[in-house]
């Protein structure tokens, strides 16, 4: 009798042990009915279970590879798995999209959700023909804009304007390369369309133009009795491989200004806020190419210490390589209407 009783207890322990170790996905009773991707509300498909779906192991009959590009993902919630799959598909069609569009991408469908004992699995599909047309339209727009930039580049005689145009076409071709990479994945022909331009020649042209720039650095600051920051800005140009010019030979003026405001905090410390601005102009001061600004903030036990710390922070910024600053301002001028 005792033997039979022991067997019953052993069987009960095995059942309880199995229940304790089996990991089940969390299916909340109030599970979401949609996800939000880039500002758009995407409805979730019905969550399936049971037999492992075909789309997880092979080409699906419902979404054959010749017509659809499939993206799968997994996570410990249905919403997370679905968002990962949809976002990956979205990123494929929008390689450099950073803002929220607020609209659903018509070429993408969140097609299926399935769960096993450990995870949720999601399938997003991209309609190949629609996606190919969508990406080719983007390439056409980029090529048209690039051609207009190249024409302006060939007609310009101002080195800084040329640098701005070169930066713009290089960035556009970098985006084009990313779109071309996506196009090769979704295009049924796997070909896409190669760029007609050689971006390496543009990079070499920009490097040569940067060396020819003759820029005089001039710094003013709003507080009196402070150390001049002009030598720091000059060093920033030198660190970029540029040649700071003297006033009689300069073609451009890089003028900087540091505005400082001091505030006493509740704890008695002094907070100094600074606005550092660099403005790039033609020597005639009639042509403004653009500006770059940085917000600075420090605290100290007294006003003198706060001002000194803020100036040191400004000095570090000014002495850093100013190549990207010059290029960015030039490109900013090119993109203004």
pLDDT at 83 over 50: yes
Task: Provide the residue ranges of all domains of the chain, joining segments of one domain with +.
Answer: 34-127, 130-210, 214-335
Q: Output the pLDDT for position 72.
A: 95
**Separation CA 298–CA 81 (nearest Å):** 43
Give the model's pLDDT for residue 10. Answer: 45
Between 102 and 75, whose confidence is greater? 75
Can you give the pLDDT at residue 275?
A: 93
State residue 90's pLDDT score.
93
User: What was the pLDDT predicted at 13?
Assistant: 45
Q: Write down the mean pLDDT value for the chain.
A: 85
How would DSSP label each residue in 64-131? -TTTEEEEEEEESSHHHHHHHHHHHHHHHH-TT--S---S--TTEEEEEEEE-SS-EEEEEEEEHHHH
pLDDT band at 32 (very low <50, low <70, confident <90, very high): low
162-200 pLDDT, tens digit per residue, is 999 999 999 999 999 999 999 999 988 877 788 899 889
Q: Do 34-127 and 214-335 come out as alike in CATH topology? A: no
Per-residue pLDDT band at 334 (split at 50, 70, 90): low
The pLDDT confidence band at residue 34, using thresholds 50, 70 and 90, is confident
- Ranking 9-13, 77-81, 116-120, 134-138 by mean pLDDT, the lowest is 9-13
Rounded CA gap, 205 and 299, in Å? 45
Residue scoring higher pLDDT (2 or 199): 199
pLDDT at res. 312: 93
Burial of 68 (0-12, 13-18, 19+ CB in 10 A): buried
Thinking of the domain 34-127, which architecture would CATH place it in? Roll (3.10)
Residue with more model confidence, 196 or 220: 196
What is the per-residue pLDDT for 71? 95
pTM: 0.78
Architecture of domain 214-335: 3-Layer(aba) Sandwich (3.40)
Band (pLDDT 50/70/90 cuts) for residue 222 is: low
Phi-psi domain of 295 (left: phi exceeds 0; alpha: psi -120 through 50; beta: other)? beta
């Amino acid at each position: 009798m005792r033997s039979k009783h022991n067997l019953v207890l052993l069987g009960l322990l095995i059942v309880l042990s199995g229940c304790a170790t089996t990991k089940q996905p969390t299916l909340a009773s109030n599970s979401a009915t949609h996800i939000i991707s880039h500002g758009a509300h995407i409805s979730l498909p019905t969550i399936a279970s049971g037999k492992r779906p075909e789309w997880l192991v092979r080409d699906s009959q419902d979404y054959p590879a010749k017509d659809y590009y499939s993206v799968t993902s997994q996570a410990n919630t249905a919403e997370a798995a679905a968002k990962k799959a949809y976002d990956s598909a979205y990123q494929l069609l929008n390689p450099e999209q950073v803002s929220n569009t607020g609209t659903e991408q018509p070429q993408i469908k969140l097609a299926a959700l399935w769960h096993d004992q450990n995870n949720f699995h999601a399938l997003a599909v991209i309609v190949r023909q629609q996606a190919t047309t969508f990406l080719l339209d983007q390439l056409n727009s980029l090529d048209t804009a690039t051609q207009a930039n190249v024409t302006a580049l060939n007609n310009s005689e101002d080195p800084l304007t040329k640098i701005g145009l070169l930066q713009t076409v290089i960035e556009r071709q970098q985006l084009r390369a990313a779109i071309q990479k996506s196009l090769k994945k979704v295009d049924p022909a796997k070909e896409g369309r190669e760029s007609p331009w050689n971006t390496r020649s543009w990079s070499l042209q920009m490097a040569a133009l940067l060396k020819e720039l003759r820029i005089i650095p001039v710094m003013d600051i709003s507080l009196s009795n402070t150390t001049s920051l002009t030598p720091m800005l000059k060093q920033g140009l030198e660190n970029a491989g540029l040649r700071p010019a003297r006033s009689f030979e300069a073609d451009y003026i890089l003028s900087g200004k540091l505005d400082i405001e001091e505030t006493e905090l509740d704890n008695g410390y002094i907070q100094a806020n600074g606005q550092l601005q660099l403005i790039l102009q033609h020597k005639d001061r009639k042509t403004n190419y653009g500006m770059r600004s940085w917000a600075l903030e420090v605290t100290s036990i007294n006003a003198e210490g706060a001002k000194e710390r803020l100036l040191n922070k400004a000095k570090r910024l000014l002495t850093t390589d100013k190549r990207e600053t010059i290029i960015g301002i030039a490109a900013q001028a090119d993109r203004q209407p």
